[in-house]
Amino acid sequence: MEITTLPLSPSVRAKLLSAGYTSFASLSAVSSSHLARDLSISDEEAVAILKVTSQYNTLDRIDGSHSILAGAQTAWDKLHEEKNLRHITTSCEDLDAILGGGINCREITEIGGVPGIGKTQLGIQLAVNVQIPNDFGGLGGKAIYIDTEGSFMVERAFQIAEACIQDTFDNFVFHKNDYEACQEKMQPKAFLANIFYFRICSHTEQVAVINYLDKFITEHKDVKVVIIDSITFHFRQEFDDLALRTRLLGGMALKLMKLAQKYWLAVVLLNQVTTKVTEGSFHLSLALGESWAHACTNRIILYWNGNERYAHIDKSPSLRSASSPFSVTSKGIRCLVSNCKRIKMM
């Protein structure tokens, strides 16, 4: 059993973790005064923590769960947890609707499409939107942006942040004092400063930085989204050993999945498309092949339909397959203006 499963307030949990109390065992031997000193909290609070811990310990014993099952949850618990899951809005209501509210936390979402369809735009939009404060229905988190292709443009991020702040203010009614306080806090520059930007120039660097993320996020607990733009680029160069490539990609996906679960954050991977020829006819498919297709929880494909951009949910364990139009405007990702109500359910 880990501390994170205890019904304690996040601040207390954070204190425990940073003081090195990560497991039940570490708490069972400690006295309340000792704990109070370690966490620099009052004795009463320390007693309360130990009380909760011992309750859970006895509960465990009553259930008769063995150590091998420690940490296991029932499906009921899972469902309850899922209800509390947060989403990161895409700024396009149609797209949010088919995604069930936006990009899910604790999951890996892969987004693919042809060059120029708006993958990077969506990536930047999510890095900005994750920062919308809690009071405005956002997550109030920070973003990690791993740029493997060099397509992240600061001027564009600034533009999108500016528009996002403007829209947030427009949609909420304020008391005058609140407004001024928020306006001071929500500046495009502050939004940019909350995007941790890593530029990666080879696949070895990419693997290394993903290994490093766990450490980085323990130091920056408010990171709520990790965006990799794109996961593919450095893996499409000469890879003589395709088995190695598959192993590297698989390992990377596994680590990202663990991060998503551990820190309750969303992982968004952008992918390129490639043409696949089967029996003389060709079709587009996302790069990196069959085994990679299993690595992500959700898969969204962006495509052109006439002159309109569409997003299609290609794979998801919980969402129904659906498409919705979206557009890329000067403000970022938005609804298609001409036909706001045209979600196709299939």
Positions that interact with other proteins (CB under 8 A): 114-116, 120-121, 144, 149-157, 189, 192-193, 195-199, 201-202, 208-209, 212, 216, 232-234, 236-239, 272-275, 277, 282, 284, 304, 306-307, 328-330
CB of 15 or CB of 119, closer to other proteins: 119
Shortest distance in whole angstroms from residue 110 CB to other proteins: 16
CB of 149 or CB of 314, closer to other proteins: 149
CA distance 113 to 270: 8
CB of 102 or CB of 332, closer to other proteins: 332
Shortest distance in whole angstroms from residue 60 CB to other proteins: 39
CB of 258 or CB of 276, closer to other proteins: 276
Shortest distance in whole angstroms from residue 212 CB to other proteins: 5
CB of 120 or CB of 323, closer to other proteins: 120
CB of 72 or CB of 193, closer to other proteins: 193
Shortest distance in whole angstroms from residue 233 CB to other proteins: 7
Shortest distance in whole angstroms from residue 236 CB to other proteins: 4
Contact in structure between 123 and 225 (CB atoms under 8 Å) = no
What is the separation, in whole angstroms, between the first and last Cα of the chain? 42
Could you tell me whether strands 266-271 and 108-112 are parallel, antiparallel, or unpaired per DSSP bridges?
parallel
Q: What is the sign, positive or negative, of the torsion defined by CA atoms of 320, 325, 328, 334?
A: negative
CB of 9 or CB of 237, closer to other proteins: 237
Three-state SS annotation for the chain: CEHHHCCCCHHHHHHHHHCCCCEHHHHHCCCHHHHHHHHCCCHHHHHHHHHHHHHHHHHHHHHCCCHHHCCCCCHHHHHHHHHCCCEECCCCHHHHHHCCCCEECCCEEEEECCCCCCHHHHHHHHHHHCCCCHHHCCCCCEEEEEECCCCCCHHHHHHHHHHHHHHHHHHCCCCHHHHHHHHHHCCHHHHHHCEEEEECCCHHHHHHHHHHHHHHHHHCCCEEEEEEECCCHHHCCCCCCHHHHHHHHHHHHHHHHHHHHHHCCEEEEEECEEEEEECCEEEEEECCHHHHHCCCCEEEEEEEECCEEEEEEEECCCCCCEEEEEEEECCEEECCCCCCCCCEEC
Q: Quick one: tokens of 130?
A: 């994750």
CB of 139 or CB of 144, closer to other proteins: 144
Contact in structure between 265 and 259 (CB atoms under 8 Å) = yes
Shortest distance in whole angstroms from residue 328 CB to other proteins: 8
CB of 209 or CB of 293, closer to other proteins: 209
Shortest distance in whole angstroms from residue 192 CB to other proteins: 4
Shortest distance in whole angstroms from residue 193 CB to other proteins: 6
Shortest distance in whole angstroms from residue 339 CB to other proteins: 18
